[in-house]
Chains A and B, each alone.
Chain A
Amino acid sequence: MLNLDFAFLTPQVVSSYVLKGFAFSLQLTLVAMLGGIALGTVLALMRLSSRPWLALPAAAYANTMRSIPLVMVILWFFLLIPLAIGRPLGAEMSAVITFTLFEAAYYSEIMRAGIQSIPRGQVAAGYALGMTYGQTMGLVVLPQAFRNMLPVLLTQTIILFQDTSLVYAIGAYDLLKGFEVAGKNFNRPVETYLVAAVLYFAISFSLSMLVRKLQQRIAIVR
């Protein structure tokens, strides 16, 4: 019989085991989101370029990243980055770099769709006013694309938050790891994994609800 006992999860236990991991999971999510969107936007612009030497590498990058399981990318980067830079890198730092580069592929597809959703006439209007390519993108196209795609970008970020748990593969100390260590120390692994699952669910689900609310509010009036 399942004999659950959560009594050991006192505030002290939570703060000494779990909080540190939670902070890292959030940090990883935020950095990978901001970095991923920035890099993804550059990749999307490259991919939409009429110049093959810009479009092809961007397409190859996005397709490669999106065709490899994330857990493998995490492992490979953990092994390869130290070789490339000549010194070992902590699991946490390696995770941040990996997630940023990996998520950029997904964000780039979202931004590409967003940019393509803006009528070509908007670009023509920017050019006709004397704007350069950079100004037309930065002032006219990207703000609209970003706004149109905000719900999708945030949904991808929720997935990213769940995926951060995969850093267990390289032993980084994230939210899940915090629960795992606590569970081992008190010999209550079932309870801690259960609480972890509930917490992931609560965070992801409430964020999804927020995104849905947002979606209804931000539609651009044309």
Chain B
Amino acid sequence: MPMIEMKNVSKWYGTFQVLADCSTQVEKGEVIVVCGPSGSGKSTLIKCVNGLEPFQQGEVRVNGISVGDAKTDLPKLRAHVGMVFQHFELFPHMSITENLAIAQVEVLGRGKDEARDRGLKLLDRVGLRAHADKFPGQLSGGQQQRVAIARALAMDPICMLFDEPTSALDPEMINEVLDVMVELAQEGMTMMVVTHEMGFARKVAHRVVFMDQGRIVEDDKKDAFFGSPRSERAQQFLSKILHH
């Protein structure tokens, strides 16, 4: 059973179709990169995985559980599907330690001390232990994003979703975030990553999904995708973002 399975997912905003018949899957331990021009529906697609965006047709299953089913306990499902956002979305009124602990305590029911320890361990891991008592606003964008990754990991996720995790960062901060993600990928975390960072894709992705106008145009093994993308649209896209 795949970790994430999307079958013929379609979504409309009014009459405008943002996702058209999207099907793909992510096996356990697999890393897939979703790329495509802006407005192609990548972010919407990844938000369908944990039900942050509702969809009108098709089916999404995470670890066998149907996301679109009204009977599914979405909070319970989401608690184990980590998500990292473009704008970090740390809680600005809480310290870094509290950011890491809050959902562990309130959602998973862990004790305060246990949650704190788990949070500090993960802060260590992303190299930010020294900032434990600061507030998000006191950290740089790259540091905030690393905290956001740690926050998601603190929930012991079965898979991780990344929605353009480096797009809002200054260029010199992108690598510190990508390094953490590469490490995660190499440890075998199941990851679905919306990004334009083709270096990251080349390094750790197993497959690359290319989207255009709400459709999945290519869904290929990494080497095949970078070697010879079949669609003209993907060729254009790659030539634009790789050659400059």
Contacts and interface: CB of A to CB of B under 8 A. Distances in A.
B107 A135 contact: yes
A222 B93 CA distance: 9
Interface string B54-87: 0000000000000000000011111111110101
Contacts of A61: none
Nearest to A220: B92
Given A131-B75, A220-B92, A125 B85 contact: yes
B234 to A, nearest CB: 29
Interface string A115-138: 000010110110111111001000
A221 B83 contact: no
Interface string A135-161: 100011001100100000000000000
A130 B79 contact: yes
Interface in A201-222: 220-222
Interface residues of A, number: 20
Contacts of B90: 125
B2 interface: no
A130 B93 contact: no
A9 to B, nearest CB: 47
Interface in B90-104: 90-93, 102-103
Interface residues of B, number: 32
B114 interface: no
Q: Which of B47, B74, B89, B107 has the most CB of A within 10 A?
A: B89
A125 B91 contact: yes
A130 B137 contact: no
B92 A124 contact: no
A130 B91 contact: no
A129 B78 contact: yes
B52 A130 contact: no
A79 B151 CA distance: 56
Given A129-B103, A139-B106, A222-B137, A121 B155 contact: no
A124 B148 CA distance: 13
A12 B90 CA distance: 58
Contacts of A140: 91
11 contacts: A122-B89, A124-B52, A124-B89, A130-B79, A130-B155, A131-B75, A131-B106, A135-B107, A220-B137, A222-B92, A222-B136
